[in-house]
Amino acid sequence: MDSQANSDSRLSFPFSKGIFFRLNLLLIVSLLTVCAPSEQSNLGVKDFEGISLEGENIRISDIAADRIALNVYGPNCLPCIKEIPVLNYLNAELKKTPHIKLYMIVDPDIFFDNPEALSTEQKMKEAAVLMKEEVKKFGIQLPVLIMKPPFKVDRTEGLVTGTPETLLFKTKPLILYYNFIGPISEESDPNKIPKNMKVIFFKRMAGQS
């Protein structure tokens, strides 16, 4: 089943003066298609949990970190695949900042044409096998979680309406405060990724100074 590509775009930004205004304006233009601010705690995020590809059950609200970033991935999603070099770079960078954790998460339903015909256990198990193939094929270096209900990628309703999307959370309590709609960046040159404005913006929003 094809993944759902994100096309929404929203961004609000405070203005400042002088050179900072010009820099912020440039940043707004470059990021308009990828970001959406939010500050919500009533979207069921406290119930988010998944199983790692190693079989460990992980509840998002129990992760020991001040900030958590969840990148929503889907198979057959070209922007998701193009984003992987940037995600691998961010994974390595954020490891230097222990209070920030980055995970790739997957809705198991999007692997199947008729997910309703399978039990949750079957979907979780088969999706893990298929996701391991994705990891190997595309060189994904992030820790991956196969998500349990109630998490769901849904075009018409819910927190995540397509892939890719990256959710940023504050913890204690777990609150969604920003979401990047679409790929953070599709830059693939390892020499250019650290200088990419979208990547720099993401790191700042994630809490890495």
Domain contains 38: no
Question: Can you give the CATH number for the domain in which 144 is found?
Answer: 3.40.30.10
Domain contains 35: no
pLDDT of residue 93: 96
Domain contains 1: no
Mean pLDDT to the nearest integer, 81-88: 98
In the structure encoding, which two tokens stand for residue 141, read together? 């270096």
At residue 9 the predicted structure's pLDDT band, cuts being 50, 70 and 90, is: very low
Mean pLDDT to the nearest integer, 49-75: 96
Domain contains 11: no
pLDDT of residue 44: 78
Give tens-digit pLDDT for 148-159: 999 999 988 888
Give tens-digit pLDDT for 37-59: 544 444 678 889 999 999 999 99
Between CA 183 and CA 85 the distance in angstroms is 11
pLDDT of residue 150: 92
From the CB of residue 24, how many other CB atoms can be counted at a distance below 10 Å? 15
Domain contains 109: yes
3-state helix, strand, coil in the chain (%, to 5): 35, 25, 40
Cβ atoms 96, 207 nearer than 8 A: no
Give tens-digit pLDDT for 117-146: 999 999 999 999 999 999 999 999 999 999
At residue 16 the predicted structure's pLDDT band, cuts being 50, 70 and 90, is: very low
Mean pLDDT to the nearest integer, 79-90: 98
Instruction: Give the lowest-confidence range in 11-25, 106-120, 145-159, 190-204.
Output: 11-25
Domain contains 119: yes
Give tens-digit pLDDT for 161-178: 999 999 999 998 899 999
Domain contains 182: yes
Q: Which domain holds residue 176?
A: 49-206
Write down the mean pLDDT value for the chain.
Answer: 86
- Structurally, the chain folds into a number of domains equal to 1
Closest by CA position to 196, among listed 83, 71, 38, 80: 83
pLDDT of residue 2: 55
Domain contains 160: yes
